[in-house]
Amino acid sequence: MEQLECFLNRSTDTNLQTSVVGRLHCLVLPELLTRSIQQQLIKILPSYTRKPRYLLVVISTNSQCFVAQELSLYRNTEIPILQQQESKEFYSTVFCDNFEKFREKQNNAPFVTVFFSQQPCVGKSYTISQWAKKLDLKPKCFVHVPINTFVVDTDFIVNRLLQAPSTTDDLIVFHINISSQAGKDVNTLMFQLLVLRYIVSQEGKGFTVRKNHAFLVELPTELSNTHKNTSLTNVFDWFYFFGDRIKDLSIPFLEIIDEMRIIKPRFDKFEINKFHISPKEMFVLKYLDALDTDLLKPEDISTKEVFMITYFDQSKLKTQNDWDYTKHPDINKTRMMELITKYASAGTRSFNMFIYIHTNCNFCPINYYYYNYYNVVCDVLAKESLVQLKSFLQFLYKQLVQLNQFLYIKRQYAPSDKRHLIPLHVMIATSLVKFAAHIACDTYEGRNGGEVDEDEKSKDIEEAEGKKEFLLVQLWKKADPPMVLFNQLAITDSVQIHMQKTSLDEDLKLMEKKMEHTLSLLSVNLRKNKHLHADEWRLLMKQYSWDLYNFEDEDSQYKPLPNTKKNEEKEKEKKDLSDQMKKLQLLLQICGGFTSKHEEKREEQMEEILKKHGDYALTFDNILKMVAIFFRIKSGIPVLIMGETGCGKTKLLKVMADVLGLEMASIDVHGGYTIQDLQNDLAKPLKQAKERPEITHLIFLDEINTSPEISTFKEVICDHSLNGEVFPDNIVVIAALHPYRSHHRSQDELKDEKEEEKNIPKFYLDDLDKEMCQLVYRVFPLPKSLRAYVWNFGSLSASDEKQYIAVMTSNTWTKQEFLGSTTISPQQLDELKTLFVELICISQKFVRDSLKDRSVCSLRDVRRANSLFLWFFKNRETIGTAYSILEAITLSLAQCYYYRLNQPQREKYNKLISTETMECNTDIKLDLIVKREQDRYIRALTIPPGIATNRAFSENLFVMLVGLATKTPTIIVGRPGFDIFTLSFL
């Protein structure tokens, strides 16, 4: 209050002469004052307004605040709007727009520039960091200030700004990073900071802007406050403080353009973010060029050399023909584009590519660029953006460093078929390159997946059924030639190979010292491959002890068997454990998960993992998913998993963490999850990572798009930081999210909804709330920069799901509490178990088809069915007989599936179950068994008089009692006023 009184006293200088122009005093945004301060100000204002001479202006955006009401007699209702030239003149005194003057400290105002782009992932943050580097800043003089929340957290922003040195005249740069989720109050904040040059927190801390400060402001490409498509125009309208100034050309700004993508600059002031090839990226490009020009092929060998290879020491062979990357000429940009276009493609489509050509132009105040267009027929994943290209090269680098040191590509160790040297170098490089684009660059292509045309303002959310398999699984199932994977170093050693922190020579030396020189081959069926080098691969498999895994054999194991071959099913189940061991061994070898080189220790390690995760089935699907995740982690590429609920994302990562030897912290995100919750949950793993730098720590963020703080998660996942604080290098972050899918509603359901709305109108908080109510999952929009890394894990294939069901059921049926109570033969027990597995598979499919949504059934239902089966079995009147087991099977299926269906669907389901069981020489009348059990419960209870024990009452009572007894979550849904639910509960 004292500051306000001093300010008012200065505005009423008694020495002010009418003929002399005084200094105008402005009180701006009084509505931001606390209620008590405003009331005190109102009391003293009249004493100043009655003075004959004063120069005071009060500027407010809220006509209802106390101060504005008190001064309503003096109100000027005409909103002052500056013309474009006036705006330019005013802001030219407020901001410095000359970077060189600022660098030389010849400016009189803080330096300000706004960075924006029409497309995501063009490198705005990278450009800002490069600008900061030009200033040769001292330590702690570059401060990142992210604004991620819808409501501005002024305390946090002030604290971040105060982290910069305050007692020095050294240049200080503030990177103001405004997210796509930020609210409109950012405009007020930026006005206070950049124009008023003072901002204060609720705690009373203040930050004053000085002329040695530079504010580099990064605007988002789109808004994340709607599921509809938005554009840069919407961004300018939302953040109008910058948008209006940019349109008036009254604030310094720069449009950033990605060299890899076609875009017409929106303004004259733009900068092209060019791809600067590092030595490691040049190494990859040289490798691609050598592959493309057949330099990796060994030359034909003489008869004498064949004789030497066959009978004598190979080391005597010539070595001068080995390809040497140090002697290979550097690759220019044009050749780079040719290589990327050829080797980073997936499918075909026609698009225009361009190359920017730089020239000086007299009529343009900045460097001018023009571009030539070339039509190419190819779908180039790595050419989507600089980010995708970097990911592609980064992934390939980690693989080619190993390939370059692999002994068997060297001429002196090269394998031969006694006629010529096998081109193993070419064969491995071809396989690595073929799958690199898919591992490093594939993204989610559903809703929000592709680029949004500037004119497309409001496309509806696409509806999907969620039936697709993981894209990489689909591709790798058809792998011909086989997918070649080097057996990797442990993840901790892999992290040592850093794209920026180590040199190429250091990485090659590390590989030479630690790599095992072994391969793993993944193929549908190598025996049936028909590609160019198929015969040579088959020959190599005989010569070397490399691991080969044929996925066709995997699929054939789990195809439905005829009911007359129960013995075959039994024999197959006996091999399950050895099969799981074989798969786990493959996974551990590929991912460098073994902690010892001794076979006994390795077997102990595998047994420990299988024992810990006994209810988990290692399948073709999840092995490839773990391998893909591992290689992304190894390459430093963010991992986001999009998949249906219950498809096994969390369990997969827990198994993977044990395979890789990672310390895993799992964080469950929900609709009420806040930034403070995230800070609290991350505190412990971040502390552990700093205390134990030799161990890699995995942080798993589950269901991140259910929280409104989605932009904060973007910072954590993509920027590897939280609130501007960078994470340690030994932290790995993986996130999972729900898919974006619209509800599938039948005509009857739509009709019922309209009738309901006539009586009970629906109310929504805002447009986003209304959009989210139309989705299967209540999820918030993803920023585009996050979408670039999303993998759609899709749903499990039928064969994979059956394997999970078989493993879970086997674990339940081998428990001593069950086996010790049975009185039937092992053969009967196996037949009933097989029947239970088949019935669960059938039930999962039937409920999904009936309710027209795959997400309504998941592996959680399988686990629940097995848990309920065990409970019903232990509560039979006669325990251990075949019929009691059939009853337990039937009642568990009813609790998990039957009660979720309407009457017509129940009748179909009942017939389906009866038909299936009759084929197995067992007759189950599901509805009769269920009714008999319900009646048994009713008889055991005292029902108050006046309550009719009809079907609805009996069902609800039975479902609730079983749910309470087994601690199974139960939700009963019905229309309002349908008192049967309340009666059942009472």
pLDDT of residue 468: 63
| pLDDT tens-digit series, residues 689-711 | 999 988 889 999 999 999 999 99
pLDDT of residue 680: 94
Residues of the chain above pLDDT 70, percent: 81
Full-model pTM: 0.81
Q: What is the mean pLDDT of residues 852-870?
A: 88
pLDDT of residue 532: 75
pLDDT of residue 21: 56
Q: Residue 443: is its pLDDT beyond 70?
A: no
Best CA proximity match to 478, nearest among 528, 436, 422, 514: 528
Residue 67 is given by DSSP the state H
Helices 576-590, 566-574: inter-axial angle, 10-degree rounding: 40
Best CA proximity match to 917, nearest among 811, 825, 834, 800: 834
Query: Average pLDDT, whole number, for the chain?
Result: 80
| pLDDT tens-digit series, residues 559-569 | 443 444 444 44
pLDDT of residue 842: 93
Tokens 């009996």 -> residue: 954
3-state secondary structure 676-714: HHHHHHHHHHHHHHHHCCCCCEEEEEECHHHCCCHHHHH
Rounded-to-integer distance, Cα 13 and Cα 52, Å: 10
Tell me yes or no: is domain 638-741+776-795 CATH 3.10.450.50. Answer: no
* Ranges of each domain in the chain: 1-74, 84-273, 279-351+377-447+465-548, 638-741+776-795, 798-943
Q: Residue 381: is its pLDDT beyond 90?
A: no
Maximum alpha-carbon separation in the chain: 114
Q: Six-digit token pair at 964?
A: 């309470």
* Contact yes or no for 358/345 (Cβ under 8 A): no
- Residue 562: asked if its preceding bond is cis (omega within 30°), the reply is no
Q: Domain 84-273 falls in which CATH fold?
A: Rossmann fold (3.40.50)
Query: Quick one: which H or E segment has residue 827?
Result: helix 826-851
Rounded-to-integer distance, Cα 782 and Cα 787, Å: 7
Residue 944 is given by DSSP the state P
Residue type, 41: L
Strands 111-116 and 213-218: parallel
Q: What is the mean pLDDT of residues 250-276?
A: 86
* Contact yes or no for 227/767 (Cβ under 8 A): no
Q: Residue 664: is its pLDDT beyond 80?
A: yes
- Asked, colleague to colleague, whether 84-273 and 638-741+776-795 share their fold, the answer is yes
Cα-Cα-Cα-Cα dihedral sign, residues 591, 595, 597, 600: negative
The winner for highest mean pLDDT among 115-119, 597-601, 760-764, 949-953 is 115-119
Which carries the bigger pLDDT value, residue 786 or residue 460?
786
Q: Residue 868: is its pLDDT beyond 90?
A: yes
Best CA proximity match to 658, nearest among 588, 577, 733, 600: 588
Class of 798-943 per CATH?
mainly alpha
pLDDT class for 872, splitting at 50, 70, 90? very high
Residue 898 is given by DSSP the state G
Burial of residue 866, with CB atoms counted within 10 A of its CB: 0-12 exposed, 13-18 middle, 19 or more buried: buried
| pLDDT tens-digit series, residues 836-846 | 999 999 999 99
**Stretch among 340-354, 779-793, 936-950 having the lowest mean pLDDT:** 340-354
Q: Six-digit token pair at 760?
A: 């009970």
Rounded-to-integer distance, Cα 153 and Cα 724, Å: 14
**Stretch among 138-152, 196-210, 751-765 having the lowest mean pLDDT:** 751-765
pLDDT of residue 479: 67
Rounded-to-integer distance, Cα 401 and Cα 488, Å: 12
* Contact yes or no for 397/511 (Cβ under 8 A): no
Cα distances from 209 to residues 112, 173, 216, 319, in angstroms, run 12, 11, 14, 66
Strands 663-668 and 731-737: unpaired
CA dihedral 178, 180, 183, 184 (to 10 degrees): 80
Q: What is the mean pLDDT of residues 475-504?
A: 70
Q: Residue 273: is its pLDDT beyond 70?
A: yes
* Contact yes or no for 249/89 (Cβ under 8 A): no
The winner for highest mean pLDDT among 370-384, 676-690, 953-967 is 676-690
Rounded to the nearest 5°, which phi and psi values hold at 944?
Answer: -60, 150
pLDDT of residue 982: 55
Best CA proximity match to 491, nearest among 279, 729, 736: 729
Residue 667 is given by DSSP the state E
pLDDT of residue 703: 92
Burial of residue 292, with CB atoms counted within 10 A of its CB: 0-12 exposed, 13-18 middle, 19 or more buried: middle
Q: Residue 687: is its pLDDT beyond 50?
A: yes
Which carries the bigger pLDDT value, residue 752 or residue 700?
700
Q: Six-digit token pair at 197?
A: 């040059």
pLDDT of residue 923: 66
Helices 279-292, 386-405: inter-axial angle, 10-degree rounding: 70
Best CA proximity match to 433, nearest among 627, 287, 274, 564: 287
Q: Six-digit token pair at 741?
A: 């899918």
Q: Six-digit token pair at 366?
A: 């900045």
* Contact yes or no for 246/114 (Cβ under 8 A): yes
Q: How many CB atoms lie within 10 A of CB 125?
A: 18
* Contact yes or no for 657/488 (Cβ under 8 A): no
